[in-house]
Chains A and B, each alone.
Chain A
């Protein structure tokens, strides 16, 4: 059958808490059946911790480490994370005339990637811009995922009017070209230089695709027998959402998380390059802007000034793509089962270790 009226489906799940009287109302039931045995098993706290460690630390890491793409992606992203956290402590901020103007890269270890036309160390510029970029990436990606998942999830699970309204809004955001909107908003709204706010601004119009995907997933999942069984057992709605539904959405979420991160990098750099976002410190986009204004694109001796921020941008996005494509395997129970030590090693003929590039959302 097609679409059910969803209020009905939902409203089942607010059971008034009952003290367990299953045994009291026994209609000759089973409670005294052969299964009602006192436990012989003692599961110690240590066992439980070991299992938690196995499920949440050991298995994911071992899954990631088995796939070369994930390994590369993970390494690159980890490198940037280090650069963004520890980097600024080790590398001093770039100052004017710390070296000769337009020194070429790999000539002097004081400024390994060369300098710009004011003699500022480019390596230091890249490193010291990283924390700010990471903040934008984090806030932008989280914003996209939280808004997309929430809107799509509510639309799919609640249905009815909520769905109609939310889906219409989603459609508008899917249709609007994001970049011009972000540009206009950046110019007209008093956002200042706060990287967290900028991250959100950059993603303000890009959660639509995720919301639509999540909605259709939830619509399908809601009809799944195991969800219905959970409702029949009387599991409360929030628990159904978090324990039964969310795990199924993780592959989408992960892919969109890394896509949103890439979008933030691309758009932030573009807006800084265009000079639309206000800036106080140097960052990858600003460096591009300065290089362009200084005509680095036609001055061969200034070429590296252009190339360095570009490489910084391209490299992290390669890392994000590779990581995104392989991370969804962490959420695949078939793959997990083979990597968790506490699970019986059973043969699983159907599952090839093949990589799949055609995950929904792809890139």
Chain B
């Protein structure tokens, strides 16, 4: 898989090359054999571009990042060539540098931001020390350097004084990540390599960092290599995108080309499988199969086992780079046929206008609203008091209002998706709804009876706690920890049957479980039956967890971010499975998601609703069409803005880039939420009245179930006469 030199030279003529990778391979000597985690990769990075490198976990993308700095961790061995072209100076062969030269190359010319910002700082040293020691190590002037550090932090919307004086554990994840970006720019490097810098962050924070990066890239004339698994996230940011599969570059081209005319079947399938806000949900499909093991990469084209176009050539010959045009290269023998074989509706043509969509699947919702709700939450509050120790009588108890007065009705065969940032209380609300968290205020009713009354009284005539317990189930976010690692699949799955179907004997139970395993695609089921959880993949673990919940034959399942721990290409498949099981078992879902795209997929496919939660309050709820295309609450609008699009510069009429609709990047401290409307500290529309008055939930549009908690939905509210509190000052995190 080599690209002839000439191809690349012609392509790089457009932009001047700053880094050149040739035939780079990384291998690990493992017991099971030689493991290649980067396989003969050729890639050029152009000066002042933003190059996106996209790949699923285990595609070798992080190795590529490390290779750029010759920073592969032992015992990995990097071979090939990495050349760096400084401006107006002789090229540098990075792999030939001695220790001193390498030290000057790293961080001064090319620096790097790791995924693990949480652990990238020495926990016992202040942030400022990290800056100073870096400046000292490279003989830079510390005073000037620290001024630059302050400016960088300010550019990243951080309060320099506060951040520099803090220890790492005193900063939130988003702050640490931004401080790390500042640290990586302190020596004014030319190239910044970022390895999944936002993966651990919330959507709003991710998006904010992306727009800050755009500003910073222009301000400091940077070249950025941005490595991620999340293609839509970087669609706006990047100039070119490289897609990696199985430790090789599968396709490389300008962003626009890659999104609109991808040539590699993998790219096409990946795009189709990525949930987003615009493309019709029926066209989203999973990529079948799974990514190969580094020791055992398929011969020929490594994608052929999963490729619908594969033939014998693909099995035999590793495809070289074919030129789609001068700037667009693809490693596929059949790239010319891929467009026909894997059609991608040009989303721009298929976008229905919002009004067309509004009354599509709402019929179910309207029909339901007359019925008695299955589960109904009435002004639910969950306040946690930080644990009071025996010797704590000196201090005031701190209360975290995780859920602060939320009402919500869930009907039979309903689906409600709760969306919000981490720490906003959506999971606590969900757990309260399924009776796993006792609320400190308000009531939760199951078929009209308060479940905690039933629990305390030991059961009324019609309903007892056991029945409620059976009816309300949960599927957790992290499949790895939702199964007891000490128990086999068999034991975990027999538990609900033993508990609730004691008429079944061991063999009947086994039969029923095997049937379900087979149904969810885990075949042969006998194989999986005896396994321990660690012998399953993440997707398989999640299936077992879903089956376990389904075996209870529940009425409502709380699905707490069930797909966010899975690889992008598996998410649609898992969501489809859950929707299909919903129909089969006739359950309702309460989904929790931090991602509006996934929320939209579920809600649209099931005709459900999306609810937006902010600091313990339900700020808006309604059918997906309304929430996505007619959001009334400014926070929903911000989330909408933060959700990446696959099309370039699509959006809600915001500025194409930047134009962040939030005034403050960081979420306020939930132990001390802002008064009035909780959102007023970040809201671009906030006025004086929002500081003092807390809005109720108002009808937000014509759609019956669409409600929002914002004064702006009322035409004659005093809000409109109140003074704006938005000023132009830069506001720092509180």
Q: Do chains A and B touch in the complex (CB under 8 A)?
A: yes
Give Cα distance in the complex from A40 to B463, angstroms: 36
Chain A contacts of B553 at CB under 8 A? Answer: 22, 26, 29-31
**If the complex has contacts A22-B470, A35-B512, are A226 and B534 also in contact, measured as CB distance less than 8 A?**
no
Chain B contacts of A349 at CB under 8 A? Answer: 30, 32
Q: How far is the CB of B4 from chain A (nearest CB, A)?
A: 36
Q: Tell me whether B531 and A25 are in contact (CB under 8 A).
A: no
**If the complex has contacts A1-B402, A37-B515, A232-B472, are A247 and B386 also in contact, measured as CB distance less than 8 A?**
no
Give Cα distance in the complex from A5 to B585, angstroms: 34
Tell me which of A164, A224, A247, A344 contacts B527 (CB under 8 A).
A344
Tell me which of A11, A159, A226, A344 contacts B484 (CB under 8 A).
A226
Q: Tell me whether A235 and B530 are in contact (CB under 8 A).
A: no
- The size of the chain A interface, using a CB distance under 8 A, is 68
**If the complex has contacts A333-B486, A348-B534, A348-B535, are A167 and B390 also in contact, measured as CB distance less than 8 A?**
yes
Chain A contacts of B585 at CB under 8 A? Answer: 29-30, 33
Give Cα distance in the complex from A267 to B497, angstroms: 51
Q: Tell me whether A43 and B586 are in contact (CB under 8 A).
A: no
Complex A-B: 21 CB contacts under 8 Å: A1-B402, A2-B384, A15-B466, A25-B467, A26-B553, A33-B584, A33-B585, A36-B512, A41-B507, A43-B506, A164-B389, A228-B436, A229-B548, A230-B495, A232-B436, A232-B469, A232-B473, A233-B499, A333-B532, A343-B488, A348-B535
Q: Indicate whether A107 reaches chain B with its CB closer than 8 angstroms.
A: no
Chain B contacts of A234 at CB under 8 A? Answer: 466, 469-470, 499-500
Tell me which of B389, B510, B534 contacts A41 (CB under 8 A).
B510
Give Cα distance in the complex from A136 to B385, angstroms: 45
Chain A positions 339 through 353: 1 when the CB is less than 8 Å from some CB of chain B, otherwise 0: 000111011110000
Q: Tell me whether B390 and A164 are in contact (CB under 8 A).
A: yes
Tell me which of A3, A18, A334, A344 contacts B387 (CB under 8 A).
A3
Q: Tell me whether B510 and A39 are in contact (CB under 8 A).
A: yes
Q: Indicate whether B674 reaches chain A with its CB closer than 8 angstroms.
A: no
Chain B positions 433 through 462: 1 when the CB is less than 8 Å from some CB of chain A, otherwise 0: 011111000000000000000010011000
Tell me which of A12, A21, A29 contacts B469 (CB under 8 A).
A12
Nearest residue in B to A169 (C-beta to C-beta)? B390
Q: Tell me whether B507 and A42 are in contact (CB under 8 A).
A: yes
Q: Tell me whether B474 and A229 are in contact (CB under 8 A).
A: yes
Q: How far is the CB of A169 from chain B (nearest CB, A)?
A: 10
Chain A contacts of B514 at CB under 8 A? Answer: 41
Q: How far is the CB of A332 from chain B (nearest CB, A)?
A: 9
Q: Indicate whether B464 reaches chain A with its CB closer than 8 angstroms.
A: yes
Q: Tell me whether A337 and B465 are in contact (CB under 8 A).
A: no
Q: Indicate whether B225 reaches chain A with its CB closer than 8 angstroms.
A: no
Nearest residue in B to A244 (C-beta to C-beta)? B484
Q: Indicate whether A135 reaches chain B with its CB closer than 8 angstroms.
A: no
B: which residues have CB within 8 A of A? 30, 32, 384-391, 400, 402, 412, 423, 427-428, 431, 434-438, 455, 458-459, 464-467, 469-470, 472-474, 476-478, 481-488, 495-496, 499-503, 505-508, 510-512, 514-516, 519, 527, 530-535, 545, 548-550, 552-553, 555, 584-586
Chain A contacts of B434 at CB under 8 A? Answer: 232
Q: Tell me whether B389 and A8 are in contact (CB under 8 A).
A: no
Mark out the residues of chain A between 316 and 363 whose CB falls within 8 Å of any chain B CB in the assembled complex. Answer: 331, 333-334, 336-337, 342-344, 346-349
Give Cα distance in the complex from A28 to B582, angstroms: 12
Give Cα distance in the complex from A27 to B484, angstroms: 30
Q: Tell me whether A337 and B512 are in contact (CB under 8 A).
A: no
Tell me which of A15, A36, A233 contacts B496 (CB under 8 A).
A233
Q: Would you list the 10 A-B pairs with minimal beta carbon distance, nearest first?
A: A8-B438, A225-B476, A39-B507, A18-B466, A35-B515, A225-B482, A3-B387, A15-B466, A234-B469, A39-B511
Nearest residue in A to B508 (C-beta to C-beta)? A39
Q: Indicate whether A280 reaches chain B with its CB closer than 8 angstroms.
A: no
Give Cα distance in the complex from A334 to B532, angstroms: 8
Nearest residue in A to B512 (C-beta to C-beta)? A35
Tell me which of B412, B465, B515 contacts A27 (CB under 8 A).
B412
Tell me which of B412, B481, B484, B586 contacts A30 (CB under 8 A).
B586
Nearest residue in A to B514 (C-beta to C-beta)? A41
Give Cα distance in the complex from A76 to B380, angstroms: 61
Q: Indicate whether A168 reaches chain B with its CB closer than 8 angstroms.
A: yes
Q: Tell me whether A337 and B532 are in contact (CB under 8 A).
A: yes
Q: How far is the CB of A20 from chain B (nearest CB, A)?
A: 5
**If the complex has contacts A1-B428, A22-B500, A247-B486, are A343 and B531 also in contact, measured as CB distance less than 8 A?**
yes
Q: How far is the CB of A10 from chain B (nearest CB, A)?
A: 10
Q: How far is the CB of B454 from chain A (nearest CB, A)?
A: 10
Give Cα distance in the complex from A344 to B458, angstroms: 45
Q: Tell me whether B476 and A344 are in contact (CB under 8 A).
A: no
Give Cα distance in the complex from A336 to B531, angstroms: 11
Q: Tell me whether A233 and B481 are in contact (CB under 8 A).
A: no
Chain A contacts of B478 at CB under 8 A? Answer: 225
Q: Tell me whether B502 and A233 are in contact (CB under 8 A).
A: no
Chain A contacts of B483 at CB under 8 A? Answer: 226
Tell me which of B438, B465, B531, B549 contacts A344 (CB under 8 A).
B531
Chain B contacts of A243 at CB under 8 A? Answer: 487
Q: Indicate whether A165 reaches chain B with its CB closer than 8 angstroms.
A: yes
> With A3-B386, A20-B502, A231-B436 given, can you name 14 additional A-B contacts, CB distance below 8 Å?
A2-B386, A2-B400, A15-B465, A18-B466, A18-B470, A28-B586, A37-B511, A43-B506, A230-B495, A234-B466, A333-B485, A334-B532, A344-B530, A349-B32
Give Cα distance in the complex from A225 to B550, angstroms: 16
